């Protein structure tokens, strides 16, 4: 069962292969959602300071009756925090709210407002300052692993040149119709695990009849096909839902997409 399987990061830390994403879930709604996921057997929860729901995630973990040691918690320092001090403060606040952090990520290489524009600044000097705070927390054993999110190849190369510890994870948007092959291959070559957020393209894929027909051939939902697609690429998917039934379905992935169908799905240009 996928919920009992894991990848091994380059530092030897075991990370569950499937996570519950909590983006756009309020602090109030996230608590019952995380509790439902844990009851179903999920052991990897993904959150972020920018989501504003770390408190709810932490409360759900504490009230679940499950040992925190059995639960893998990922969170992120806001993309806007580009100094050592701000990163350090953010790490401490996340630790306080969540109770534990197994994986801490830099949410993006530059502030969100600049991420999808042609704003020229790349923050090549600032990100290593943030990373220094990460390395210190990691070496102090406050955090089990450190990584990044939304980093491109040159962002990663810059960070690796100016750091002692290589990022262990890069969390990026990957779904059918959006597969950044070169970036994924670079990460794999460097021993960086790629996590796939929005594996169902925030629901847009569910309207695609060709993908729905393929899912029907396997006797699964379109969402299940999308999540399985990411797994077969060697990625760690983070589907988001607050509905227990969808959580259950998303974890029922005991089927394999054929090589031919994987190729067909890889050839989708956009959704």
Active site residues: 51
Is 227 in contact with 18 (CB distance < 8 Å)?
yes
Q: How many CA atoms lie within 13 A of 86 on its CB side?
A: 15
Note the Cα 71 to chain centre separation in Å.
15
Spatial contact of 64 and 36, defined as CB atoms under 8 Å apart: no
Give a three-class secondary structure readout of 219-260: CCCHHHHHHHHHHHCCCEEECECCCHHHHHHHCCCCCCCCHH
The per-residue DSSP string of 2-64 comes to GGG-EEE-TTS-EEES--EE-TT--HHHHHHHHHHHHHHT--EEE--GGGT-HHHHHHHHHHS
Residues in the chain: 271
Strands (E), 65-134: 72-77, 101-106
Q: If you search the block for the tokens 């830099």, which residue do you land on? A: 106
- Residue in 231, 107, 243 with CA at minimum distance from that of residue 176: 231
Half-sphere exposure in the Cβ direction for 159 (13 Å, CA): 32
Distance CA 176, CA 209 (A): 13
């Amino acid at each position: 069962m996928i919920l009992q399987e894991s990848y091994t990061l380059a530092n030897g830390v075991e990370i569950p292969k499937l996570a519950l994403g909590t983006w756009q879930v309020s602090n109030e709604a996230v608590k019952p959602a995380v509790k439902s996921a844990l009851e179903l057997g999920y052991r990897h929860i993904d959150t972020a300071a920018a989501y504003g729901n770390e408190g709810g995630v932490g409360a759900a973990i504490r009230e679940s009756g499950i040992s925190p040691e059995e639960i893998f918690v990922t969170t992120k320092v806001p993309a806007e925090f580009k100094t050592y001090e701000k990163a350090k403060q953010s790490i401490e606040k996340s630790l306080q709210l969540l109770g534990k952090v197994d994986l801490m990520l830099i949410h993006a290489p530059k502030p969100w407002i600049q991420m999808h524009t042609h704003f020229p600044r790349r923050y090549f000097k600032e990100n290593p300052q943030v990373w220094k705070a990460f390395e210190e927390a990691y070496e102090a054993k406050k955090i089990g692993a450190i990584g990044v999110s939304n980093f491109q190849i040159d962002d990663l190369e810059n960070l690796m040149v100016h750091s002692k510890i290589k990022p262990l994870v890069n969390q990026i948007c990957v779904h059918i119709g959006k597969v950044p092959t070169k970036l994924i291959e670079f990460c794999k070559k460097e021993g960086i695990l790629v996590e796939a957020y929005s594996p169902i393209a925030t629901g847009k894929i569910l309207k695609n009849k060709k993908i729905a027909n393929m899912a029907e051939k396997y006797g699964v939902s379109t969402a299940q096909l999308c999540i399985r697609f990411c797994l077969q690429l060697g990625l760690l998917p983070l589907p988001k839902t607050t509905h227990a039934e969808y959580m259950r379905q998303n974890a029922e992935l005991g089927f394999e997409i054929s090589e031919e169908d994987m190729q067909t799905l890889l050839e989708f240009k956009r959704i």
